[in-house]
Structure 1
């Protein structure tokens, strides 16, 4: 619940609390679950859920549990950080996938997390816990480090001031270290996140720029931590990110010489 407990929640807040009760771990909930997780009386939850089902925002399963409906997906697709960005990015994500046959991801920042818009995975690629529509703490991911490094200073400071969630022993948990890493990412133009989410994997990430040359998204390649030279993958990831930026109309991407683009393009073979 995100509303102010000092006053009764509005109707809109109650609806959002009910929708926010669903998570990737709990995609189906009973009415009692929804009532409890949203902090609403059962009768109130029943009335709102019935209306959400009628509008297609929720769907009722045969066992009586509820899940998010397709209507919400239709509405979400209208977001400027949603389907339009994904559609511009997909050809370049697919090229990067074909060149590496590893996990390729597209994400945007929603402080303190990143939200994944797309993921392409090979059957034999290293395991990843991300999923389209899912979230992970920004400071612990390659895409998140890129997005934070290019975010306004007040956004960075809000993350640095909050507890930094740990996923593994290698997750950045010190604000001082995170500050240094973000400075390195800004300088280098890419990020390597080494075994921060899972000990079996690392990611190489690069920024995607929009029409005003600000960073609007990031892409990453997630590869096995064992036996992988992450720096050798940087040119391919940066070339894919640059292609997406050009497709979005970023002036800085359009100014790049064609010869440099060819030099950075992924090789047409698997590693």
Structure 2
């Protein structure tokens, strides 16, 4: 049943800590999920410096989804979007052939804030890596939910448990936010070949073993999997159909190393448009 346990690797990114989960050498992807970061939890004091913000930067070949449990992030991008990202909402940005965006903690700067969430990257199928860039927002009220025996679950993206989320995805996948009371059970969809559960808070039990927060449990295909809460727990279920290997360098994802080199040259040469409403600064290409 259990194939691998991945522990988050915490690092300070300049004002708060992030736990990197995917990718690792032993497991580059789970379904189309090629990157998975656990942000916070962190309490921001009013007046935090602008250096905590993530300045405009580029992406290609992927979709990003920032999902918050608490707090607020202001998103601006090069297709003209300006959207406050708030808890329980879906903010799905498809980079395709290229997009730039910024993430700023403006409410925290003005009022103070508690921020906690997950940022994931979903690789695009090879035939759609050069699709047009886009940004889609869905409010929490738009997302299917399930309540059953101490389990509350929200389908963030894809298909699971007989429901389909509204956000357009490019390959078969599922992404579910579960809140569990002690003893509550969350089954993983059995129809997907690659599946995982990330414990964001609390303690869970799977197949007689207990796991604390900060761990991603990757499962073998086919076998039924049930996650049982030992304490109150927040768990993200994720997975889908594999897409084949991907190269990742900085913020770029592609099935082609040459395409990543082109994206690096385009960013270095100033050929990628900055966000319409946030174009006075940017993050230079590392190195």
Using the size of structure 2 for normalisation, the TM-score is 0.29
Give the number of the structure whose residues are more often helix, by fraction. 1
Give the number of the structure whose residues are more often strand, by fraction. 2
Bigger relative CO (Cα 8 Å, ≥ 6 apart): 2
Using the size of structure 1 for normalisation, the TM-score is 0.30
